[in-house]
Structure 1
Amino acid sequence: MKARILLIEDEKDIADIIMLYLRKDGMETLWKDTGESGFDSFIEGSFDLIVLDINLPGMDGYEILRKIRQKSQIPVIIVSARQEDVDLIQGFGTGADDYVTKPFSPSVLVARIRAHLRRHEETHSDESPLCEFGDFKLDINRQILTQNEKIVNLSPREMDLLVFLIKQPGVAVSQEDLFHSVWGNHFGDMSTVSVHIRRLRNKLGEDSTNPRYIRTRYGYGYYFQGDGIH
């Protein structure tokens, strides 16, 4: 199974070299050249590791990393021209797993990426809570949903929504409570809940008129139909 890497780097020449070496090593790579587009891709996509530059237009790398750490423990490797101790300290203090200074060897960067992927896999593989329903298997710790051993790509928000419902099977949760608990907001457009429910059902291959797993309690909210975590 190919590892999926999100590369957030504003210098095209450097990005091209990194992507070339990652693809030669059998990894899939998505490149974004601004902080905002990179963070949006993280929210909407499913990745195994992030390679992150610090000096980015708009939202800088530190701000992106802080936002990522509010939602995920995905491995993040900073690649930056900043070489002072204070920069490394800030990077690790913000939540980076590694810090590579420019210029760097692409082969060494790939080796570091492989090491972090392996370490993350080993760390999250022991006693991981699992939930199986139909052809699906959800690994809570690793944040991976598979169907017949193939990964189903969920956005972080879709994953949070599924995990929240699956942890309390059969318990109906109102749209308002889902919005508060999963989005962490008490004000805003709660219609986003139904939008994400629809997307989640679509990725589960649900019949929208008679869903099997993500059920609707009409006039109230939603609940998960099936066994919980074991």
Structure 2
Amino acid sequence: MPSLLLVEDDPSIRMAIEIALTRQGHQVATAATGEEALEMWQSQRPELVVLDVMLPGIDGFEICRRIRRTDQVPIILLTARSDDIDVVVGLESGADDYVVKPVQPRVLDARIRAVLRRHGNGGPDAGDTAVFGDLVVDRAAMTVTRAGEPISLTPTELKLLVELSRRPGQALSRQQLLRLVWDHDYLGDSRLVDACVQRLRAKVELVPSEPQLIRTVRGIGYRLDPPR
């Protein structure tokens, strides 16, 4: 039973989501403020955090940033508007996905399970080892190293790099990446892909502003190139 931390300040929404997720088989702890959320994250170490953006005290963006300093636990944002700048800021802060309010429990449960699958992905079908200069992507162990030093990636960042590494030199559209990485069965939101690529470049590129590995293919998406 996956352990989740639900952070939502509205009591009625918090209770409704908690009941729905519990019925879906999740173990849910709840917090109403940013300060309480950080305390519970540190003491309980949940497998996933469902995080409202607008909170009293410390907001969801800052919580996300603080967690990401030391922990790669999956984070799903709850946001009031899909076209809000909050989505972009949240994704750039390190969130793995987002769900728009009012929350549909089945949608949230599907997103949670998809992120947890990425977090636990590995096993015999994960593939082999891909080498890009001093960057090594071990698809069996689901680890990434540069010059022998491990690189800490979130489950979504790791899944994105693994999928790109399976097809070196091949351009993958944002729609393809949404299906492969996020398990979205619709065209979805390209901001998920773009924000994750930006975070991934910051970790694997020597000069993130001048990427040599993860290339943008204008009008299409991205490809992973071997170093020249």
Partners of 2:120 and 2:21 lie apart in 1 by 18
> Cα distance, 1:84 vs. partner?
3.1
Partners of 1:141 and 1:27 lie apart in 2 by 25
Partners of 2:84 and 2:12 lie apart in 1 by 26
Residue aligning to 1:168: none
Alignment of 1:99-138 (within 5 A): 99-122=98-121, 126-127=140-141
Which structure would you say has the larger Rg?
Answer: 1
Partners of 2:141 and 2:76 lie apart in 1 by 26
Residue aligning to 1:32: 31
Residue aligning to 2:22: 23
Are residues 51 and 24 of structure 1, via their aligned partners in 2, closer, same or farther at CA, if it must alter by over 3 Å? same
Alpha-carbon contact 2:34-2:63 (below 8 Å) kept: yes
Give a deviation string over 1:14-70, Cα, whole Å, max 9, x none. Answer: 111111111111111000000000011101112110000011010000000000000
Partners of 1:32 and 1:73 lie apart in 2 by 20
Residue aligning to 1:48: 47
Residue aligning to 1:9: 8
Partners of 1:122 and 1:26 lie apart in 2 by 20
Amino acid of the residue matched to residue 127 of structure 1?
A
Structure 1 counterpart SS, 2:121: helix
Alpha-carbon contact 1:77-1:99 (below 8 Å) kept: yes
> Cα distance, 1:101 vs. partner?
1.2
Structure 2 counterpart SS, 1:31: strand
Partners of 2:96 and 2:111 lie apart in 1 by 10
Partners of 1:62 and 1:80 lie apart in 2 by 11
Residue aligning to 1:79: 78
Amino acid of the residue matched to residue 119 of structure 1?
R
Amino acid of the residue matched to residue 13 of structure 1?
S
> Cα distance, 1:115 vs. partner?
0.9
Structure 2 length normalisation: TM-score?
0.53
Partners of 1:38 and 1:121 lie apart in 2 by 24
Structure 2 counterpart SS, 1:70: helix
Amino acid of the residue matched to residue 69 of structure 2?
Q
Do residues 97 (structure 1) and 111 (structure 2) align? no
Partners of 1:121 and 1:96 lie apart in 2 by 17
Alpha-carbon contact 1:8-1:53 (below 8 Å) kept: yes
> Cα distance, 1:123 vs. partner?
5.5
Do residues 63 (structure 1) and 62 (structure 2) align? yes
> Cα distance, 1:128 vs. partner?
6.6
Partners of 1:123 and 1:76 lie apart in 2 by 20
Partners of 2:88 and 2:57 lie apart in 1 by 22
Unpaired runs of 5+ residues, structure 2, are 127-139, 144-151, 155-228
Alpha-carbon contact 1:128-1:141 (below 8 Å) kept: no
* Identity between Structure 1 and Structure 2 (%): 40
Give RMSD over aligned pairs.
2.4
Partners of 2:23 and 2:142 lie apart in 1 by 31
Size of the alignment, in residue pairs? 131
Partners of 1:106 and 1:85 lie apart in 2 by 21
